[in-house]
Chain A
Amino acid sequence: MARATEDNIGGIEQFESLPRRILTVWLPLAVFVFVLLFPFYWMAITAVKPDNQLTDYNNYSPFWVVGPTLEHMKYLLFETTYPRWMWNTVIVSVASTAISLFASVLAAYAIERLRFRGSRVTGLLIFLAYLVPPSILFIPLAFIVFQVGIFDSRLALILTYPTFLIPFCTWLLMGYFRSIPYELEESALVDGASRWQILTRVVLPLAVPGLISAGIFAFTLSWNEFIYALTFISSSENKTVPVGVLTELVRGDIYEWGALMSGALLGSLPVVILYSFFVDYYVSSMTGAVKE
């Protein structure tokens, strides 16, 4: 990622007056931040609100909470299958990420460095595969999953998630491999290293940032996945968090907003924590994938 930010210091912006700057920069930015964050605030505050305050806007300010409670979380963790959904989501995300990384590293290396006959076309096909949306694949995939005999199992998700993870990871890793000097590999080849040795000892150590990017991205995408999990899983104990919260916690017409928002909050935490550690990798891989 090119960084032109250093040039900006000073620049033409310094001629702007402060009031103008507040009006054209800080005010819009504040509105953006408020709107983008408000749903999370609302989610968090609802999750810890005692039931009697949830809808009583006359006696309590809706924006604050008096005497926060962990009742909703307790209910979720001890009286529902929620922990089990969490566990399923972790297993599915980790397994599909691992599979996708393995397949993508080999594919990206082959396309970018082995340059076998047809590698350019293969690269293009991989990119096109990324553009195929899950919402046109889920019906035939449900059919296949059923015939293979893995319907209603975590395996169904572990095997189908790589279809959208592999194209993305491969594309991302191709960019990283391209940035590694070819001379390093050539000298290793001259020294008699095999392709496998070059990949594992020379290329991969240098591509660690790329591997982290692809890994956390794949993990987040699997954690978010919904339509396959909704279609391929029927029993409660095999569901993932997004599907479980939506299909099992919503009962009848009375919504337990406290429990629902706790479920949404807890289900978001793992990816948000992961994200907070690797913000820069997120940003660079998001932009990298677009710029390629």
Chain B
Amino acid sequence: MPPPPAPAAQAPRKGVLARIAESRNALGLLFMLPAAAFLIFFLTYPLGLGVWLGFTDTKIGRTGVFIGIENYRWLFDDPVFWLTVFNTLFYTVFASIAKFALGLWLALLLNRHLPFKNVFRAIILLPWVVPTVLSAMAFWWIFDSQFSIISWVLMKLGVIAAPINFLGDPWNARWSVIAANIWRGIPFVAISLLAGLQTIPQSLNEAAAIDGATPWQRFRLVTLPLLTPIIAVVMTFSVLFTFTDFQLIYVLTRGGPVNATHLMATLSFQRAIPGGQLGEGAAIAVAMIPFLLAAILFSFFGLQRRKWQQGND
């Protein structure tokens, strides 16, 4: 049997443009071009470049040479680096737990039938909308060592005798920056979980109530399991952004006192930009990647397991 004639021979010749317009693959590629160009040149390439810089002794104004894992060996022996790893984990764990607990509580409150619900929702999102640096400056003033309004109120109430040195004492400073971070993070968690709560049919809750379930049982056995997928996503975001936080610390303490609040991101900045050691700064930034991957994988596989337990989605 003779082969069928090639389509090109029959179809009238078309211009290149017309052919691109008809092919999904070519057109898709064309449409992806602007986004891809930006992301490859300013995201993927710098990511690779950052890893490479971590293996060099590049300084500001001087191209570096490849020095293998020397930066990492140097960091391994650097007590300040390990202190920042500790600080970062401490900051992330406590801030994330508190944001989750308070955010969930707020979401549950807002999920009830309340008058002025939209007003509340609008107010609660405000800390998230205002630029972090600017609201952190308000906290800076609230945490002032001499004129802190918190100290003033506590002194008036007779709880304390002298102003609290919020940002000058290592542990006070750690808890202070965590408090500011929680303040800023609650809206995101609360509004996202509220959206999740609103997709849960009220009838399920009512059925459980009729069967005699207490409010706590209804929360634990009905609401929480249905909310788990969205909790996993929200908390992954929350943990990632807390772990890599920079702005709050930079405004409130710049890592002090005696490095007590230095996070990996702020140490990386300090060593690289004012310190001029680009290679070392890049190595610290790269050292954050395993933690971030672990957080992503944890929630990814956590979600997979849940799906598998529940059978088909």
Chain A contacts for B123, CB-based, 8 A: 33, 36-37
CA distance A103 to B39 in the complex (A): 10
Q: With an 8 A cutoff between CB atoms, is B84 at the interface?
A: no
Is B32 in contact with A107, judged by CB distance below 8 angstroms? yes
Which of A67-75, A158-166, A177-185 faces chain B?
A158-166
| Chain A 225-257 interface 0/1 with B at a Cβ cutoff of 8 Å (1 = within) | 011001100000000011101100000000101
Is B192 in contact with A119, judged by CB distance below 8 angstroms? no
CA distance A3 to B48 in the complex (A): 44
Is B129 in contact with A136, judged by CB distance below 8 angstroms? no
CA distance A140 to B152 in the complex (A): 45
A/B pair count, beta carbons within 8 Å: 308
Q: With an 8 A cutoff between CB atoms, is B75 at the interface?
A: no
CA distance A159 to B34 in the complex (A): 12
Chain A contacts for B282, CB-based, 8 A: 139-140
Q: With an 8 A cutoff between CB atoms, is A210 at the interface?
A: no
Query: Of A25, A116, A117, A268, which is in contact with the most chain B CB atoms at under 10 Å from its CB?
Result: A116
B204 CB to closest chain A CB, in angstroms?
10
Is A272 in contact with B47, judged by CB distance below 8 angstroms? no
Q: Which residue of B lies closest to A144 (CB)?
A: B46
Is A267 in contact with B134, judged by CB distance below 8 angstroms? yes
* In-complex Cβ contact of B132 among A103, A224, A287, A291 (8 A): A224
Q: With an 8 A cutoff between CB atoms, is B310 at the interface?
A: no
| Chain B 246-260 interface 0/1 with A at a Cβ cutoff of 8 Å (1 = within) | 110011000000000
Q: Given A11-B202, A137-B50, A242-B134, does the pair A117, B25 have CB atoms closer than 8 Å?
A: yes
Query: Of B113, B152, B205, which is in contact with the most chain A CB atoms at under 10 Å from its CB?
Result: B113
Q: With an 8 A cutoff between CB atoms, is B224 at the interface?
A: no
Number of B residues with CB within 8 Å of any CB on chain A: 104
Q: With an 8 A cutoff between CB atoms, is A17 at the interface?
A: no
Q: With an 8 A cutoff between CB atoms, is B90 at the interface?
A: no
Chain B contacts for A126, CB-based, 8 A: 35, 39
Q: With an 8 A cutoff between CB atoms, is B175 at the interface?
A: no
Q: With an 8 A cutoff between CB atoms, is B72 at the interface?
A: no
* In-complex Cβ contact of A1 among B105, B122, B195 (8 A): B195
Is A42 in contact with B141, judged by CB distance below 8 angstroms? yes
Is A3 in contact with B269, judged by CB distance below 8 angstroms? no
Is B38 in contact with A166, judged by CB distance below 8 angstroms? yes
Q: With an 8 A cutoff between CB atoms, is A18 at the interface?
A: no
| Chain B 93-131 interface 0/1 with A at a Cβ cutoff of 8 Å (1 = within) | 000000000100110011111100110111111110111
Which chain B residues (3-35) contact chain A, with CB distance < 8 Å?
21, 24-25, 27-29, 31-35
Is A271 in contact with B199, judged by CB distance below 8 angstroms? no
Q: With an 8 A cutoff between CB atoms, is B183 at the interface?
A: yes
Chain B contacts for A13, CB-based, 8 A: 112-113
Q: With an 8 A cutoff between CB atoms, is A213 at the interface?
A: no
CA distance A285 to B241 in the complex (A): 18
* In-complex Cβ contact of B121 among A119, A142, A279 (8 A): A279
Q: Given A133-B292, A242-B134, does the pair A106, B34 have CB atoms closer than 8 Å?
A: yes
Chain A contacts for B269, CB-based, 8 A: 135, 138, 227, 231
B292 CB to closest chain A CB, in angstroms?
7
Is A268 in contact with B130, judged by CB distance below 8 angstroms? yes
| Chain A 99-137 interface 0/1 with B at a Cβ cutoff of 8 Å (1 = within) | 100111011011100111101001000100101111111
Is B35 in contact with A107, judged by CB distance below 8 angstroms? yes
Q: With an 8 A cutoff between CB atoms, is A176 at the interface?
A: no
Chain A contacts for B198, CB-based, 8 A: 1-5
Q: With an 8 A cutoff between CB atoms, is B216 at the interface?
A: no
CA distance A163 to B209 in the complex (A): 48
Chain B contacts for A267, CB-based, 8 A: 131, 134
Q: Given A136-B288, A140-B53, A220-B129, does the pair A106, B35 have CB atoms closer than 8 Å?
A: yes
Task: Return 27 A-B CB contacts under 8 Å, by A number.
Answer: A12-B205, A12-B206, A28-B109, A29-B106, A29-B110, A33-B123, A39-B127, A42-B141, A46-B141, A62-B152, A106-B31, A131-B292, A133-B241, A133-B265, A135-B245, A139-B272, A139-B273, A140-B47, A162-B38, A224-B131, A227-B247, A227-B269, A246-B137, A261-B141, A271-B129, A276-B122, A279-B125
Pick the 5 closest A-B CB pairs, nearest first: A116-B28, A287-B195, A110-B31, A133-B244, A135-B265
- Give the A-binding residues of B (Cβ under 8 A): 21, 24-25, 27-29, 31-36, 38-39, 41-43, 45-47, 49-50, 53, 58, 102, 105-106, 109-114, 117-118, 120-127, 129-135, 137-139, 141-142, 144, 146-147, 149, 152, 183, 186-188, 191-192, 194-196, 198-203, 205-206, 209, 230, 233-234, 237, 240-241, 244-247, 250-251, 265, 268-269, 272-273, 278, 281-282, 285-286, 288-289, 292, 296
- Give the B-binding residues of A (Cβ under 8 A): 1-5, 7-9, 11-13, 25, 28-29, 32-33, 35-37, 39-40, 42-43, 46, 54-55, 57, 62, 99, 102-104, 106-107, 109-111, 114-117, 119, 122, 126, 129, 131-144, 159-160, 162-163, 166-167, 170, 194-196, 220, 223-224, 226-227, 230-231, 241-243, 245-246, 255, 257, 260-261, 263-265, 267-268, 271-272, 275-276, 279, 282-283, 286-287, 290-291
